[in-house]
Amino acid sequence: MPIISNKAHNMPASPIRKLVPYAEAAKKRGTKIYHLNIGQPDIETPEVMLNAIKTSDIKVVEYSHSAGFESYRNKLAQYYQGFKINVSGSDIIITCGGSEALSIAFMTCFNNGDEVIIPEPFYANYNGFATAADVAIKPIRSTIESGFALPPISEFEKLITPKTKGIMICNPGNPTGYLYSRQELEQLRDLVKKHDLYLLSDEVYREFCYDGKEYVSVMHLEGIDDNVILLDSISKRYSACGARIGALISKNKGFMAAALKFAQARLSPPTFGQIGAEAALATPQSYFDKVQKEYVARRNFVIDALNKMPDVVCPKPSGAFYCIAKLPIDNSDKFCQWLLEDFSHNGQTVMMAPATGFYSTPGAGTNEVRLAYVLNLEDLKNAMECLAEALKQYPGRSN
């Protein structure tokens, strides 16, 4: 029988989705599950986006340009300019979600065996894309004690080798919700400039910055235009995860020309997704104001509820809609599975993502979980009640 590839063997399972079979079995037993494991918002997609798809009068679903509709790219550039990100449509390639933007960026920036430094915990699929591109992630630890702030630049320096070709961040962050300050980003800029590295930044949560804190893009940093790669997606901005529309943005013309060859190889991004995404640019500010207000209320409730539980620690995030909580448990993978297999409270339980999958360092995150506060307040109240009770009953509780 033919063997499968080493890449397939090494491809990590998603910590967000790997517990789905246990959740499905629990549902068949009649248990209600509160899904805090995945960043799937319950916010309605803007009507202007849905209507554009519903009323489209195209007669043939044709390929688009491999870089995406020119009209969309030009309008998207205007959207970025609203955030003082000075780009044109020619600096943008539309991708099949932010995932493809990342995959193309890795394949364009790095050779096999090259290294990229990423503060951990980080979005779990970075591991998968790095494996597929044969790129080595060199993790640098941010800690829950610091609220997951950027590690000292001196620690980055220690990791740089001749194989280091880039640094990657997520801002605001998934899974921590941390929002990098201008000072932190300027320190990264100086490091990137000193060693002539790529700086890749996943900024899909820019609309979700709280408490009046400033969103600073890597494209606001002066003197490193050719080093900066911006990764984006409409999935969370418009609660349109299934549209599968993202963007790869850079002012480095050589990089963009090379990246376009990968885009050409996959032919084109989705037609109806682009139609919807272009229309979504007309979403009124009132939509975002309402959504942000809702997420602030959800965040405040969840963080307060977690920190009231005995021996639980959870810093308050300043962006996105995730948090990492440290729990008094022996093993987060076991705990999250136990919640689905062996626990229920009033016929209900909660599903979370073990934080182990958001680290590259073996053994890290064993007493941490990621929660996505993407449910309404009533559901979150029930979910926190379930979690509090579960922590009392869990046989692997540690103090």
Asked if residue 188 and residue 104 are part of one domain, the reply reads yes
Q: Is beta strand 348-351 parallel, antiparallel or unpaired with respect to 32-35?
A: parallel
Q: Looking at the structure, do residues 290 and 262 belong to the same domain, yes or no?
A: no
Position 111 in a domain: yes
For residue 322, what is the domain's CATH number? 3.90.1150.10
Residue 399: what pLDDT? 67
Whether residues 258 and 129 fall in one domain: yes
- Is position 185 within any domain? yes
Cα angle 254, 132, 89 (rounded to 5 degrees) comes to 35
Instruction: Give residue-wise pLDDT tens across range 150-165.
Output: 999 999 999 999 999 9
Instruction: Answer whether residue 131 is part of any domain.
Output: yes
> What confidence score (pLDDT) does residue 14 get?
78
Same domain, 262 and 190: yes
* 40 pLDDT tier (thresholds 50, 70, 90): confident
Q: Could you give the C-alpha distances from 253 to 88, 104, 114, in angstroms and in order?
A: 12, 15, 22
- pLDDT tens, residue by residue, 326-372: 999 999 999 999 999 999 999 999 999 999 999 999 999 999 999 99
* Tens digit of each residue's pLDDT (9 = 90 or more) over 1-15: 999 998 898 888 777
Tell me the pairing of strands 353-354 and 368-372.
antiparallel
CA dihedral 50, 56, 59, 65 (to 10 degrees): -70
Residue 1 lies in a domain: no
Check whether residue 167 and residue 244 sit in a common domain: yes
Residues 262 and 327 in one domain: no
* pLDDT confidence of residue 326: 98
Are residues 327 and 235 part of one domain?
Answer: no
User: Is 44 a residue whose pLDDT tops 80?
Assistant: yes
Choose one of 233, 249, 280: the last residue of a domain.
280
Residues 77 and 213 both lie in one domain? yes
207 falls within a domain: yes
Among 233, 257, 280, give the residue marking a domain's end: 280
Can you give the pLDDT at residue 18?
Answer: 80
The whole domain housing 236 covers 47-280
The tally of domains found in the chain comes to 2
> Residue 166's domain is classified under what CATH number?
3.40.640.10
| Rounded Cα gap, residues 87 and 366, in angstroms | 42
Out of 245, 280, 315, pick the residue that ends a domain: 280
The verdict on residue 196 lying in a domain is yes
Do 298 and 380 lie in one domain? The reply is: yes
Residues 267 and 290 occupy one common structural domain = no
Co-location of 355 and 310 in the same domain: yes
Evaluate whether residue 57 is within a structural domain: yes
User: Looking at the structure, do residues 227 and 204 belong to the same domain, yes or no?
Assistant: yes
